[in-house]
A = this chain, B = another copy of it.
Amino acid sequence: MKRNLSAWPCSVARSLELVGDAWSALILRDAFHGLRRFDDFHNSLGLARNTLSDRLNKLVEGGLLSRRPYQDNPPRNEYVLTEKGKDFFPVLAALLAWGDRWLDGGDGAPVTLHHKAHLHPLRVSMVCGDCGESVGSDDVEFRLGPGYPDDPVEPARDIRSRLAPAAITRAAVG
């Protein structure tokens, strides 16, 4: 079964259609580390060249990386994070923080983030952008949003029954 999550009325599913495999996410990690060239990604991740090529193409098509020529003979491209790709950073930072908390085997974080402007270690925290409070799953209610279709294509995946009604501020959310 070839799934197509991009048509689901869910931003998590749509995002996962683009980056929902481990190699894609690790390529982005490497791009945030400053890597740009095919051979550098290949050496770093040790995956098959055709798999790497496939994932890079998908990230370019998805608009997270842009392909730029850096050499003419033979022609070679490098892969640079776009604005859309850079904006993916909070996802990887949250994944990193979770792994540091739960999968460090007691040895501490293998790699730490450092807040350049303030010269201190960075502990990322997810907050409500309006009130600034830290938020966890228990603080949150899922509501019907403006982009949920009136007539979802696949009824089995219609999740409206488990969502709270749209907020009266619905128009402001879109």
Contact = CB atoms under 8 A, between A and B. Distances in A.
A157 B126 contact: no
Copies of this chain assembled into the complex: 2
Interface in A138-170: 138-149, 154, 156-157, 159, 162-164, 166-167, 169-170
Contact residues of A: prevailing secondary structure: mixed
Interface string A101-145: 111110111111111111011111111111111011111111111
Chain A interface extent, by class: 35 or more
Contact of A142 (B113, B127, B144): B113
Interface of A: 1, 3, 5-6, 9-18, 20-22, 25-26, 29, 32-35, 43-48, 63, 81, 84, 86-105, 107-118, 120-133, 135-149, 154, 156-157, 159, 162-164, 166-167, 169-170, 172-174
